[in-house]
Amino acid sequence: MADQPKTMDGTDWSLLIFLSLLWGGAFFFAGIAVKELPPLTVVLFRVSVAALVLLPIFFIYKHTLPKNLKDWLPFLMMGLVNNVLPFGFIFWGQTYITVGLSSIINAMTPLCAIVILASFGDERLTVLRTIGVMFGVVGVAVLRGFDEAVSPEQTFGIILCLLGTVSYGFAALWGRRFLGGVAPIKSATCQLIGSTFIMVFVVAIIDQPWTLPMPSNQVIFSLLALAVFATALAYIVFFKILVRAGASNVMLVTLLIPISAMALGNIFLGEEIKAKEVIGALIIGAGLLFIDGRFLKFFSRSST
């Protein structure tokens, strides 16, 4: 059974809501950026600028950069599976589906992580966790829809975003095995630097951004917000909550992100919020609560 979550105070909840706005904003700002720029170029801008923002904090805490390739490899791999692949898949998916839908699919991340960790023997797949994963599968099926036509493009977008969540699951496995003792700010900064190194070569070969027309001011602002607020600042807030409230509580942010993203997409981009998206999000959210033991704790209290 998962460890029982700590009790959160008002500050913890405020930080959690703030983080959900930052990460919900990531889907919103990316949704704007990919209308004018290739997804991989957006990924490069996000990771490179976020790395530059975190570097001063990195040095303030007197961390040092890895000195050789062997020491860099864990961060390069983490950058690949935690930034390059999921950002790339999700941003690509957002060229086919809405901001809100992509954020709901992203809420599957903890469920994918549990399956992958259990498959590699790093976690036990308990009854509650199995139920949670089944809820997640049903939630995605509801998002896909049963009674209305869904275009191949939309289906492809959903699949791309699901691949992003699977990549995050492998990031959880890699981080547990190879970066467990690394300070959070060092891990975040070095993996972003590693991601930048990878993406510079990928984007130079595929997108050749120097040949692209200058994006609009709206897109430039969105790129900056995506990198500075939704990545660099979000990492800092995430680790703050992790220290204060623990891993089980910080996972709750995945329940709140779709609310922020759907609201932003609806208000500023005119994206329709469909009933099946709300129902799918609730089903996936229920799965997350099963995984971390909150449903069991709630029913235990009710029966006493």
Angle at 31 between CA 194 and CA 33, to 5 degrees: 65
pTM of the model: 0.91
Radius of gyration of the chain (CA): 19
- Tokens of residue 180, six digits: 């467990």
Q: Which residues of 87-116 are buried (b: 16+ CB within 10 A; e: fewer)?
A: bbbbbbbbebbbbbbbbbbbbbbbbbbbbb
Q: What SS3 class is residue 37?
A: coil
Tell me how far apart the alpha carbons of residues 283 and 4 are, in angstroms, rounded to a whole number: 22
| pLDDT over 70, % of the chain | 91
Per-residue confidence (pLDDT) for residue 26, from 0 to 100: 97
Tell me how far apart the alpha carbons of residues 249 and 172 are, in angstroms, rounded to a whole number: 16
Angle at 44 between CA 67 and CA 57, to 5 degrees: 50
> Which residue reads 């129902």 in tokens?
279
Question: What's the pLDDT tens digit per position in 95-146?
Answer: 999 999 999 999 899 889 989 999 999 988 888 888 888 989 898 888 877 6
| pLDDT over 90, % of the chain | 68
Tell me how far apart the alpha carbons of residues 123 and 274 are, in angstroms, rounded to a whole number: 35
Question: What's the pLDDT tens digit per position in 241-295?
Answer: 988 888 777 878 888 899 999 999 999 999 999 888 999 999 998 888 887 666 6
Counting every residue written for the chain, the total comes to 304
Tell me how far apart the alpha carbons of residues 263 and 99 are, in angstroms, rounded to a whole number: 10
Range 170-176 average pLDDT:
95
- Among the residue ranges 21-25, 159-163, 230-234, 275-279, the one predicted with the least confidence is 275-279
Question: What's the pLDDT tens digit per position in 11-44?
Answer: 988 999 999 999 999 999 999 999 999 999 999 9
Question: What is the phi/psi pair of residue 28, to 5°?
Answer: -65, -50
Measured CA to CA in angstroms, residue 161 lies from 140, 213, 254, 268, 303 at distances of: 11, 27, 15, 22, 40
Per-residue confidence (pLDDT) for residue 147, from 0 to 100: 58
Choose between 299 and 157: higher pLDDT.
157
Per-residue confidence (pLDDT) for residue 1, from 0 to 100: 42
Cβ contact 153:100 at 8 Å: no
Per-residue confidence (pLDDT) for residue 304, from 0 to 100: 55
Burial class of 273 by CB neighbour count within 10 A (0 to 12, 13 to 18, 19+):
middle
